Amino acid sequence: MMTENADKLALVTGASRGIGAATAKALAATGAHVILTARDAKALESVEDEIHAAGGAATIAPLDLVDGTSIARLASAVAQRWQRLDILVLNAATLGSLSPLAAADGKEMNHVFTLNVLAQQALLAAFEPLLRLSPQGRVIALSTSVARTPRAYWGAYGASKAALENLVAVFGEELKNISAVRTAIIDPGATRTQMRARAYPGEDPASVKPPEDVARAIMQLLAQDFESTHYLKL
């Protein structure tokens, strides 16, 4: 166990698998107490067990981010138990269907934006007071290249991530002169995740990097001082 994040509290969304799980384990391995959130309670318990077995500390908080009250309830619980939040990793997202924009299903597009944008804004709003209480509050948002370079058939996902990047950048601008909170956006590139497998079903998973590589990059970024909004492409 390393201790560079000892006494820090981190919250990782989408922590049941992939980049979220790898990042949670990496944070715990450096001494942080990690709150793990996702919808799948059993998968969260598995990640929590791995963290505890390695000597780390974690707490699971199974929830659906698109539930209208779940984020507020989580923020209230964190405030009561820990009083501050040092690291917020916005990883949870949904891909939706890859289709021509003219054929996009309105209901599905609404769900993509609800999770990828509206829930992220709700997280920022709910945890802003706790992040401002940290001597070094950090917000890390996972994005994608299609947020900045439009790609055919990726309209809903790309537009939602472009909106997320803007929200995180605005949040950083609003807080940089009145707090120690700093924001960063990471484009992990091709990574071995379930979302990647859905988008590229014929791809050999071994041909792209594992989530642990992204987690290491996040840890390296957290170890540095940076100005809002820092952008990192892997």
Residue 181 falls inside a structural domain: yes
Q: What are phi and psi of 140, to 5 degrees?
A: -115, 120
Residue 87 falls inside a structural domain: yes
Which range of residues forms the domain containing residue 31?
9-233
Read off the pTM: 0.97
DSSP character for 116?
A: I
Residue 168 falls inside a structural domain: yes
CATH of the domain at 153: 3.40.50.720
Residue 79 falls inside a structural domain: yes
Taking CA 7 as the corner, what is the angle to CA 54 and CA 228, rounded to the nearest 5 degrees? 105
Residue 4 falls inside a structural domain: no
Per residue of the chain (234 residues), give pLDDT as tens: 688 999 999 999 999 999 999 999 999 999 999 999 999 999 999 999 999 999 999 999 999 999 989 999 999 999 999 999 999 999 999 999 999 999 999 999 999 999 999 999 999 999 999 999 999 999 999 999 999 999 999 999 999 999 999 999 999 999 999 999 999 999 999 999 999 999 999 999 999 999 999 999 999 999 999 998 899 999
Handedness of CA 60, 110, 121, 96 (dihedral sign): positive
The total number of structural domains that make up the chain:
1
Residue 26 falls inside a structural domain: yes
Q: Catalytic amino acids? A: 157
> Crossing angle of helices 70-81/119-132, nearest 10°?
20
Q: What is the amino acid identity at position 228?
A: S
Q: What are phi and psi of 205, to 5 degrees?
A: -55, -30
Residues 213, 170 contacting (CB under 8 angstroms): no
Residue 1 falls inside a structural domain: no
Residues 223, 179 contacting (CB under 8 angstroms): no
Residue 226 falls inside a structural domain: yes
Cis omega (within 30 of 0) for bond into 229: yes
